[in-house]
Amino acid sequence: MSIDTQGLERKQRSRLLLAVLLILLLVVLIKGVWISRHAYVLWKHGMRLEGLMHNPASVLEPQEPARIQADLAAIEGALRGLRAQLRPVLRPVWLPWRSARENLLALDGLLGVGAELAGAGQVAAEGLQSIVNALAARQASGMSESLFMGLVDARPHFQEAAPLVGQAAEDVAALPTAHLGSPLSGLVPTLAHYLRLGSMALEAGAAAPTLLGESGPTSYLILAQNNDELRATGGFITGLGLATLDRGRIAQLIIKDSYDFDKFTVEHPWPPEPMTRYMGIDQWVTRDGNWSPDFPTAARDTEDLYHLENSTELSGIVAFDMLALEALVKAVGPLYLEVYEDQITGDNVLRKAREYWNPPLPEGVDLAEWFRELGWSTIKEDWWQHRKDFMGLLAEALLAKLQGGSEPHQLSAVLWAMKRAIDERHILLYFHEPAVQELLAATGMDGTLDHDTAGDYLLVLDTNMGYNKVNLNVDKLIEYEVDLASDGPLQATLTITYRNRSPAEPVCDHRPRIEASYDLMAQGCYWNYLRIYVPPGSQLLSSEGVTETETLTGEHGKTVFATFFVVPAAESKTLRFTYQLPDWGREEYRLLVQKQAGTDAVPLGVRIVLPEGAEVLSTEPQPTDKQPGVLWYDLNLRRDRTLLVKLRQEQSHED
């Protein structure tokens, strides 16, 4: 009987192959289980951290930093494990397609960066724990002093974490992006940008004790800007003050009438020429220092003017308008002012500030009679020098509330209100400390004019030159159209409509005057010096609604169209400017419209006329309305607005 050896060999090979396949399948299953486990850990802890973004105040709860640290430790372990399990796939040297190889290698690099970042986050969370512990353990010290002590304890952790995050940013930026597909191609540069910001934020946190007077009393100039009388950085500087910090304690906070700060004991420089031409001003004083819309420039100018007659060394400048004050009082809660026997809330603070400005006219006596009866010297002593006392008293009440028994959740509410006010340009900051100022600049929170010239740009800037508060009763509408369809140079048309809701007056009398109430100061004709900032090289073609428009160059890298006009009470005025833009091509149109500080949510309409036959590839944001050849945007300027439209143009073919 013969044995079929070949058949036995085939069976053995089949069994061996089956065993190998079963082993491979088992390995894949095990790897799949591990990968699934790591992915679940990432999802679970990532979702919890994402929830904190919707409730940022919760990070100040006593146990939260430890939970954050545990989440980040779990995420770090999961990312490292996931990277190890996927390494044979993510480093496919055998793969012939370069694009696929680079995408997988980039993903491998991102997993490594994520793990390193989670480690850095654990170090930063230790710093956060120091701050929370200090706030929770405060006894005799106030909230600001406890925060200072927490920041001092947190500093070594922030200093350790900052370079780790900075290195992560460099590692991400070094990833090859030329052959990356979506979404990695967009994720890599965005992630690198935010990691740089994170590193700068940690450096700023480490520098914070210096800002709070770690080495001794540190003073900041406070600018209280009245946006009822609009100026370039938010409003007329109605009040000036000094805030002195000493190891976190607000040792002094004084806000007074801005007229009290300039004694004219030394010669002052000439003001910007339009202030002389249209207002008759022949000396540049501190209260008029905010001429430039670029806040770092305006801050330096104001500081220089302040130092002409004031010797206090400054570490920075903080400017706020009335809308910021309203938001801050809402966050802090009701304040009782004993002098007025009145409770101030976020809902009534602006109305009360205007009411307490009013002169104490006897019943049945008008302002002229009052002046004749008492004389200026008595009125000045009894009323004029005290008409803005409300500001100082409110500042004292705010200080007492913040340094008193405030809870961490209230601190969080105040910080959140301040962050929103900074984003909306109702609070403007300028610091001499480089790490902090650089962070403000990198995040767009320093109030600077955008210097990028890689697209269209618009800033409509009003300066009230009427010696009144009439902006309280003036509405504004901005409409902007850009024509991408013409064969010639790009052309833009800007239309601005002002409506003055003041009661009608027989004539417009352009001179300083005092009225019998704040409400009357807010009524009348609106004298406005308008500056329109546009891309450099733009050329004005025509202007309507004004008698004369001049073109200025070299202002913060922009071209400026400037004009002066008046809107009579109870009337409207429409201005229209048509100008030629630099030619950036038609494939991509980018527009940045910056808001003027001190304004709220000015309506903005944008109309983009597309080239004939052009296909819209993408728009950000989505248009409000889309018609053949035209995109419409119905927006407002609560914040700066950016539009981006990408097109594909129809190719022409010659017969």
Identity of the highest mean pLDDT range in 355-359, 407-411, 572-576: 572-576
Over residues 252-277, the mean pLDDT reads: 91
Q: Is the peptide bond between 611 and the residue preceding it cis, with omega within 30 degrees of 0? A: no
Q: What percent of the chain has pLDDT over 70?
A: 87
Contact 527, 477 (CB under 8 A): no
Query: What confidence tier does 401 reach under pLDDT thresholds 50, 70, 90?
Result: confident
Q: Determine how β-strand 588-594 pairs with β-strand 456-464.
A: parallel
CATH class of 456-648: mainly beta
Angstrom CA distances, 542 to 393, 491, 495, 548, 577, stand at 50, 11, 12, 10, 6
pLDDT, tens digit (0-9, with 9 covering 90-100), for 478-505: 999 999 988 888 999 999 999 999 999 9
The secondary structure of 353-411 as a DSSP string is HHHTTS--PPTT--HHHHHHHH-HHHHHHHTGGGTTHHHHHHHHHHHHHHHSS--HHHH
In the chain, residues under CATH classification 2.60.40 are 456-648
In this model, does residue 253 exceed pLDDT 90? Answer: no
Q: What is the pLDDT of residues 67-123, one digit of tens each?
A: 988 988 988 888 888 777 766 665 655 555 666 666 666 677 777 888 888 899 899
Give the mean pLDDT of 552-568. 95
Contacts of 370 (CB under 8 A, 6+ apart): 359, 361, 362, 379
Taking CA atoms, 89 is separated from 93, 103, 111, 591, in Å, by 9, 11, 13, 42
**325-373, pLDDT tens digit by residue?**
999 999 988 999 999 999 999 999 999 999 999 999 998 888 989 998 9
49-58, 405-414, 497-506 — which is least confidently predicted?
405-414
Which pLDDT value is given to residue 460?
A: 98
Q: How far is CA 569 from the centre of its chain?
A: 34
By the 8 A CB rule, do 223 and 232 touch?
A: no
With residue 438 as reference, give the H or E element that holds it.
helix 434-442
Q: Is the peptide bond before 62 cis (omega within 30 degrees of 0)?
A: no
- Residue 614, pLDDT > 50, answer yes
Q: What is the mean pLDDT of the chain?
A: 87
Burial state string for 98-109 with b = 16 or more CB within 10 A and e = fewer than 16 = eeebbbbbbbbb
Element (H, E) at 454: none
pLDDT at position 161, please? 92
Strands 603-609 and 474-483: parallel
- Which fold does the domain 218-442 belong to in CATH? Aminopeptidase (3.40.630)
Q: Per residue in 274-326, pLDDT tens?
A: 999 999 999 999 999 999 999 999 999 999 999 998 889 999 999 999 999 99
Q: Cα–Cα distance between 231 and 387 in angstroms, integer?
A: 21
Q: What is the pLDDT of residue 654?
A: 47
Distance, in Å, from the CA atom of 365 to the CA atom of 361, rounded to the nearest integer, reads 6
Average pLDDT rounded to a whole number, residues 511-537: 95
| pLDDT (0 to 100) of residue 53 | 75
> Does the pLDDT of residue 252 top 90, yes or no?
no
With cut-offs at 50, 70 and 90, classify the pLDDT of residue 655: very low
Residues 6+ apart with CB under 8 A from 42: 75, 78, 79, 82
When pLDDT is averaged across residues 134-154 and rounded to a whole number, the result is 79
Range list for CATH 3.40.630 in the chain: 218-442
Q: How far apart are CA 354 and CA 359, in angstroms?
A: 11
